[in-house]
């Protein structure tokens, strides 16, 4: 590897000395002292050790993206939340922050995700149902009322209209007096996986890709602390993909964004450090840990060797994780608390940077405050009571885990070759490759349940003959939808119509000319142009997408 063993070890030790470590007890409950890191003796470390495992915070980052990991800083506890009106969700955010949550994560309702205003006829019956309703800057102002955006990191899970929602967020922060360069957080903005898995797209793939690159370029130049894309395997896995497919397809999407940004003329080391990833953590404990370790190693190698990145920060894959929604059951929902705890522990042992733990009632409705509190406490118990945060990569070196990690890497590389043969990610989408692979995997899994080869506790085994006691669920009343319709109509009535129309025309002009769309979108946000109006204006220029039949 062109590097001596002592130098690698010395560099890691020096980084640890420079770090401000988390204050905590690093003894077991019985009083036995534990070291920060366990590794083979220096005399036994060979080239393969550095190529495959190495030290945390060092290439290839198998053991974690940072030198001290949770000994230096715990992961961010970022509970996904959003329901009803912006006022409802704002109250939930204050509730979570008061109980120890360390970052915000916004769930939007289906009309917002698809770019419709609350009063659009296509929004009827869906406003505020699966997330918070946001139709304009006024809604975003209410959503973050009393929350200092210069101090809180915010993640927003939205894709098709992501640049517009991001523009609203930037405008709210600036109204609070926070310069955009100081904002921290993430906007998911991963449109490629929408075509393969979640299906919440608006514009055609190539035009959507251009908008994503606009956001990467804008963040690179003006918002260095913000992650403009969270490359998401979560929805790929929820659609039925295997762990290996989630790994391969997500990284392939990441490589496609890197290629597109380089084609735009951006230096890879200027933008790559701000890309992040989002993994779905399922029930196979060791497989999920291996998936995350393999992801870091693959990303590091491709960024350094394929894309020529020179900055180690460009090689470092950082991620958010969420426990698997699709693994939760409506039957015996209390069992979901156990599933979530095991999945959360896998995410932590895999080296996540932030984590959302699902609530036990999410197969039935949006979570209640009690269910959310249990989910948050699950993370806090892992952090404060389990001892797993005291040692960096405590499972590293396990024969089983390292073999699984190698196998995951090999399967991902095989998929990369197939995608390349098809001409790349977008041609593979257009040919239905990803969709067929995911569909076949989902069918095979379901067949294994029906044949009795796999089991779901409380569903296919250990079922109850009597009806279990019902648990309380959160209900969104129709009055919320009526209020949101009225709110967006009031925004249109009270804004300066000439200013709004001029701002909308500038959005279209930027789209036609191929200019970066973000400055025009921010101006439109400040003029209180609504989400639906902006999306319709962009559809007129960029077109819309209808997925071909996948045979």
* Crossing angle between the packed helical segments 518-526 and 162-175, to the nearest 10 degrees: 60
Q: Nearest CA to 438 among 282, 277, 248?
A: 248
pLDDT value of residue 101 = 77
- The answer to the question of residue 420 being in a domain is yes
- Between 341 and 95, the higher pLDDT residue: 341
Query: What does the alpha-carbon distance between residue 70 and residue 85 come to, in Å, rounded to a whole number?
Result: 36
For residue 516, pLDDT over 80 is answered with yes
pLDDT given at position 344: 98
Give 214-225 as a DSSP string.
HHHHHHHHH-TT
Residue 529 has a pLDDT of: 98
**374 belongs to a structural domain:** yes
Asked whether 250 and 237 are in contact (CB, 8 A), the reply is no
**Residue 241: burial class (beta carbons within 10 Å; 0-12, 13-18, 19+):** buried
The CATH code of the domain that includes 164 is: 3.20.20.240
Tell me the per-residue pLDDT of 32-78, one tens digit each, with 9 for 90 and over.
888 888 988 888 888 888 889 999 999 999 999 999 999 989 999 98
Report pLDDT for 472: 83
Between CA 303 and CA 255 the distance in angstroms is 8
Domain that holds residue 347: 69-450
Q: Is residue 338 part of a domain?
A: yes
DSSP codes, 40-88:
--GGG--HHIIIII--TTSTT-TT-SSSSHHHH-PPEE--EE--BSHHH
User: Residue 33: its pLDDT value, please?
Assistant: 84
Closest alpha carbon to 273 in 234, 307, 244:
307
Q: Which of 28-32, 49-53, 99-103 has the highest mean pLDDT?
A: 49-53
Torsion of CA 504, 507, 508, 513, to 10 degrees: 160
Q: What does the pLDDT read at residue 4? A: 52
Distance, in Å, from the CA atom of 94 to the CA atom of 82, rounded to the nearest integer, reads: 12
* CA–CA–CA angle 331, 333, 336 (5° rounding): 120
252 vs 366: which has the higher pLDDT:
252
Q: Supply the pLDDT for residue 171.
A: 98
Residue 203 CB contacts under 8 Å (≥ 6 apart), including other chains = 160, 211, 538, 539, 542, 543, 544, 545
Q: Taking residues 6-13, what's their average pLDDT?
A: 77
Q: How confident is the model at residue 510 (pLDDT cuts 50, 70, 90)?
A: very high
Provide the percentage of residues in the chain whose pLDDT is more than 70. 97
Is 364 inside a domain boundary?
yes
- Cα separation, 485 vs 490, in Å, equals 9
Q: Tell me which of 109 and 11 has the higher pLDDT.
A: 109
Residue partners of 254: CB distance under 8 A and separation at least 6: 231, 275, 277, 299
Distance CA 132, CA 123 (A): 13
> Is 60 exceeded by the pLDDT of residue 461?
yes
Q: Check residues 438 and 27 and name the one with the higher pLDDT.
A: 438
d(CA 450, CA 447): 5
Could you give the number of structural domains in the chain? 1
Cα separation, 428 vs 52, in Å, equals 30
Burial group, residue 286, by CB count within 10 angstroms (0-12, 13-18, 19+): middle
Is 55 within a domain? no
Tell me, yes or no, whether 148 lies in a domain: yes
HEC profile of 476-524? CCHHHHHHHHHHHHHHHHHCCHHHHHHHHHHHHHHHHHCCCCHHHHHHH
Look up the pTM and report it: 0.94
Cis ω before 60 (30° cut-off from 0): yes
User: How far is it, in rounded angstroms, from Cα 492 to Cα 230?
Assistant: 32
* Structure confidence at residue 292 (pLDDT): 98
- Is 392 a residue whose pLDDT tops 90? yes
Q: Which residues of 140-163 are buried (b: 16+ CB within 10 A; e: fewer)?
A: bbbbbeebebeebbbbbbbbbbbb
pLDDT tens-digit readout, 298-320: 999 999 999 999 999 999 999 99
Query: Rounded CA gap, 537 and 531, in Å?
Result: 10
pLDDT band per the 50, 70, 90 thresholds, residue 30:
confident
Residues in the chain: 551
Distance separating alpha carbons of residues 74 and 64, to the nearest angstrom:
13
Residues whose CB is less than 8 angstroms from the CB of residue 339 and which lie 6 or more positions away in sequence, other chains included:
283, 323, 324, 327, 328
Reported confidence tier of residue 445, pLDDT bands at 50, 70, 90: very high
205-222 and 243-264 helices cross at what angle (nearest 10)? 70
pLDDT at position 2 over 60 = no
**What is the predicted pLDDT for the residue at 99?**
85
- Residues 409-433: pLDDT tens digits? 999 999 999 999 999 999 999 999 9
Alpha helices in 362-398 (DSSP H): 369-385
Is residue 143 one of the residues assigned to a domain? yes
Task: Report pLDDT for 356.
Answer: 94
Cα distance between the two ends of the chain: 46
Mean pLDDT in residue range 177-200: 95
Asked if the model's pLDDT at residue 198 lies above 80, the reply is yes
Is residue 131 within 8 A of residue 500, CB to CB? The reply is no
Q: What are phi and psi of 542, to 5 degrees?
A: -90, -20
Is residue 466 over pLDDT 70? no
Asked if residue 62 belongs to a domain, the reply is no
Distance CA 96, CA 91 (A): 9
């Amino acid at each position: 590897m062109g590097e001596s063993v002592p130098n690698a070890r010395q560099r890691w030790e020096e980084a640890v000395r420079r770090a401000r470590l988390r204050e905590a007890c690093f003894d077991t409950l019985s009083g036995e002292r534990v070291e920060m890191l366990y590794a083979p003796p220096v005399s036994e470390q060979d080239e393969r050790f550095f190529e495959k495992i190495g030290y945390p915070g060092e290439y290839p980052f198998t053991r974690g993206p940072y030198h001290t990991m949770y000994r230096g800083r715990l992961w961010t506890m970022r509970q996904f939340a959003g329901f009803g009106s912006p006022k409802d969700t704002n109250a939930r955010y204050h509730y979570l922050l008061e109980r120890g949550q360390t970052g915000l994560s916004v769930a939007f309702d289906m009309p917002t995700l698809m770019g419709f205003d609350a009063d659009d006829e296509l929004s009827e019956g869906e406003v505020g149902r699966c997330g918070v309703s946001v139709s304009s800057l006024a809604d975003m102002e209410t959503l973050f009322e009393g929350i200092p955006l210069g101090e809180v990191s915010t993640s927003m899970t939205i894709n098709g209209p992501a640049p517009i929602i991001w523009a609203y967020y930037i405008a709210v922060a600036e109204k609070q007096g926070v310069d955009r360069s100081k904002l921290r957080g993430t906007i998911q903005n991963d449109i490629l996986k929408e075509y393969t898995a979640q299906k919440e797209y608006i514009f055609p793939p190539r035009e959507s890709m251009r908008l994503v690159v606009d956001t990467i370029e804008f963040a690179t130049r003006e918002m260095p602390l913000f992650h403009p894309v969270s490359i998401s395997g979560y929805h790929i896995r929820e659609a039925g993909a295997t762990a290996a497919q989630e790994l391969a397809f997500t990284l392939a999407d990441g490589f496609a964004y890197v290629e597109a940004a380089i084609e735009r003329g951006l230096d890879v080391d200027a933008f790559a450090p701000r890309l992040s990833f989002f993994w779905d953590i399922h029930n196979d404990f060791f497989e999920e840990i291996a998936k995350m370790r393999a992801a870091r190693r693959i990303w590091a190698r491709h960024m350094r060797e394929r894309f020529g990145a020179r900055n180690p920060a460009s090689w470092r894959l950082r991620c958010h994780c969420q426990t698997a929604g699709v693994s939760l059951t409506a039957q015996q929902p209390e069992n979901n608390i156990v599933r979530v705890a095991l999945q959360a522990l896998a995410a932590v042992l895999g080296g996540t940077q932030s984590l959302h733990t699902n609530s036990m009632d999410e197969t039935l409705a949006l979570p209640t405050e009690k269910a959310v509190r249990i989910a948050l406490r699950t993370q806090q118990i892992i952090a404060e009571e389990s001892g797993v945060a005291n040692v960096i990569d405590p499972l590293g070196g396990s024969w089983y885990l390292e073999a699984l990690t190698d196998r995951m890497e090999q399967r991902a590389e095989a998929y990369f070759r197939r995608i390349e043969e098809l001409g790349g990610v977008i041609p593979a989408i257009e040919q239905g490759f990803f969709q067929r692979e995911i569909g076949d995997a989902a069918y095979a899994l379901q067949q294994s349940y029906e044949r009795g080869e796999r089991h779901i506790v409380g569903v296919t085994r250990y079922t109850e003959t009597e009806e279990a006691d019902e648990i309380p669920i959160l209900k969104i009343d129709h009055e919320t939808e009526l209020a949101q319709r009225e709110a967006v109509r009031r925004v249109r009535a009270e804004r300066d119509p000439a200013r709004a129309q001029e701002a909308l025309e500038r959005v279209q002009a930027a789209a036609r000319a191929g200019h970066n769309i973000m400055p025009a979108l921010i101006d439109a946000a400040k003029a209180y142009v609504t989400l639906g109006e902006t999306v319709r204006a962009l559809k007129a220029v960029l077109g819309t997408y209808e997925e071909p039949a996948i045979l």
